[in-house]
């Protein structure tokens, strides 16, 4: 309530003068009252709940130098020693200010001024506290589905904004579902652009950019990326048949191998089989767990080095071989007499 007057005097009243609001000191000199006016906020002004607000006021005294006055700010019944100094002097123009955060249970702000004689004057303003909004957050890099190596320097970029606070006042952090809070040296400029860079451990990471405003409201945006170990060739091994195995021409021979890669899934690898004697035996696909099979009954008679070659999406390849022998079919026993 603008203009509310509160008068407290430490001197005994000896009489009244014809000047309203004045005090008479024990020396008989009339002591004028100081004045205080809250200039911001104004009565009924809409202010977001919990948002940082700079309250301002103007104090004066007809008898004393303005810089000799002492001012106190109150939010409701609470004095605000943390947000602004208390019991301090205004500037040479009588201006004083205080950083506050209004809430629904504390919509009243008060400014009290005291002069050297102990006279006090207080002004109060009630505001309308409305619901505040949480920050807005977006991630522009890395994009969802991006793939990186453990050795790559990844750029992290986003934007933040808030209906009450400047972007630089927001508290921001990058977080990974695998690595926790990321120490990537992020900065926020006046336009709300957030930038940082760093490397991540292998795995599937859900990356979140968090922004918290001065009222404690926070929001996040997220993206999912894949990080792989340093590039390497596939690993392949033939488990069947054993080296040195012998088959007859026309037998159906089963070749079994297992394959893996540090980045590609087994079923996405390029697989081919060759024979040192017969050349290309064709390709085959791996199952999701890396098992590869090749059936053939067309191997020629003689020794064969059967080789499997696997190529990944990076163009790296791996090969391994097994040596078998194919013999002429056994004579058919007709069971005839000598």
78 and 29, same structural domain? Answer: yes
- Which residues 6+ apart lie within 8 Å of 315 measured at CB? none
Please report whether residue 202 resides in a domain: yes
pLDDT at 24 over 60: no
DSSP class of residue 54?
E
Please report whether residue 333 resides in a domain: no
CATH of the domain at 208: 2.60.40.10
Please report whether residue 43 resides in a domain: yes
DSSP three-state, residue 92: coil
Residue 132 confidence (pLDDT): 77
Q: What is the CA radius of gyration of the chain?
A: 42
Range(s) of the domain holding residue 167? 136-228
Provide the mean pLDDT of the chain: 87
Band the pLDDT of 4: cuts 50, 70, 90: very low
Task: Examine the fold and report which residue of 228, 251, 275 is the final residue of a domain before the chain moves on.
Answer: 228
119 and 32, same structural domain? Answer: yes
Please report whether residue 337 resides in a domain: no
**CB neighbourhood size of 112 (10 A):** 22
103 and 75, same structural domain? Answer: yes
More confident residue, 76 or 33: 33
Percentage of the chain modeled with pLDDT above 90: 69
Tokens of 315: 């163009």
Residue 130 parent element (H or E)? strand 128-130
Please report whether residue 332 resides in a domain: no
Cα–chain center distance at 83: 28
DSSP three-state, residue 66: helix
**CB neighbourhood size of 27 (10 A):** 8
- Which residues 6+ apart lie within 8 Å of 25 measured at CB? 11, 31, 117
Give the separation between CA 13 and CA 124, rounded to whole angstroms. Answer: 26
Please report whether residue 8 resides in a domain: no
Band the pLDDT of 32: cuts 50, 70, 90: confident
Give the separation between CA 126 and CA 121, rounded to whole angstroms. Answer: 17
Residue 336 confidence (pLDDT): 54
Give the separation between CA 188 and CA 174, rounded to whole angstroms. Answer: 12
124 and 28, same structural domain? Answer: yes
Residue 237 confidence (pLDDT): 97
| pLDDT (mean) for 187-196 | 93
pLDDT at 150 over 80: yes
Give the separation between CA 232 and CA 256, rounded to whole angstroms. Answer: 23
DSSP class of residue 16?
-
Task: Examine the fold and report which residue of 228, 248, 263 is the final residue of a domain before the chain moves on.
Answer: 228
Give the separation between CA 89 and CA 96, rounded to whole angstroms. Answer: 8
164 and 121, same structural domain? Answer: no
Give the separation between CA 32 and CA 181, rounded to whole angstroms. Answer: 60
Count of domains forming the chain: 3
Band the pLDDT of 334: cuts 50, 70, 90: low
Helices (H) and strands (E) in the chain, counts: 0, 28
Task: Examine the fold and report which residue of 191, 209, 228 is the final residue of a domain before the chain moves on.
Answer: 228
Q: What's the Cα-to-Cα distance from 196 to each of 150, 154, 209, 258, rounded to whole Å?
A: 17, 8, 11, 41
The Cβ-side half-sphere exposure at 112, using a 13 Å CA radius, reads: 18
Q: What's the Cα-to-Cα distance from 272 to each of 181, 275, 284, 308, rounded to whole Å?
A: 45, 11, 7, 6
Pairing of strands 78-79, 70-75: antiparallel
């Amino acid at each position: 309530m603008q203009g509310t007057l509160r008068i407290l005097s430490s001197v005994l009243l000896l009489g009244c003068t014809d000047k309203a609001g004045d005090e008479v000191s024990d020396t008989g000199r009339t002591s004028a009252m100081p004045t205080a006016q809250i200039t911001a906020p104004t009565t009924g002004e809409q202010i977001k709940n919990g948002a940082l607000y700079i309250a301002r006021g103007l104090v004066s005294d007809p008898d004393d130098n303005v810089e000799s006055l002492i001012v106190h700010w109150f939010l409701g019944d609470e004095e605000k020693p943390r947000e602004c100094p208390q019991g301090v002097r205004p500037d040479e123009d009588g201006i004083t200010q205080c950083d506050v955060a209004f809430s629904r249970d504390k919509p009243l702000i008060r400014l009290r001024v005291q002069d050297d004689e102990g006279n006090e004057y207080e002004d109060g303003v009630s505001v309308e506290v409305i619901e505040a909004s949480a920050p807005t957050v977006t991630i522009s890099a890395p994009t969802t589905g991006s793939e990186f190596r453990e050795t790559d320097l990844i750029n992290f970029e986003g934007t933040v904004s808030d209906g009450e606070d400047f972007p630089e006042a927001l508290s921001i952090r990058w977080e990974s579902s695998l690595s926790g809070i990321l120490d990537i040296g992020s900065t926020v400029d006046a336009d709300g652009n957030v930038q940082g860079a760093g490397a991540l451990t292998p795995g599937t990471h859900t990356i979140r950019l968090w922004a918290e405003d001065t009222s404690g409201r926070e929001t996040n945006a997220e993206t999912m990326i894949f990080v792989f170990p340093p590039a390497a060739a596939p690993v392949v091994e033939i488990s069947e048949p054993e080296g040195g195995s012998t088959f007859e021409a026309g037998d159906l021979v089963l070749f079994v191998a297992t394959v893996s890669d540090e980045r590609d899934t087994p079923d996405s690898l390029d697989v081919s089989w060759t024979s040192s004697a017969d050349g290309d035996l064709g390709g085959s696909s791996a199952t999701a767990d890396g098992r590869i099979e090749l059936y053939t009954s067309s191997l020629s008679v003689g020794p064969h080095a059967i080789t499997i070659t696997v190529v990944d999406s990076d163009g790296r390849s791996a090969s391994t071989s097994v040596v078998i022998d194919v013999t002429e079919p056994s004579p058919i026993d007709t069971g005839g007499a000598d």
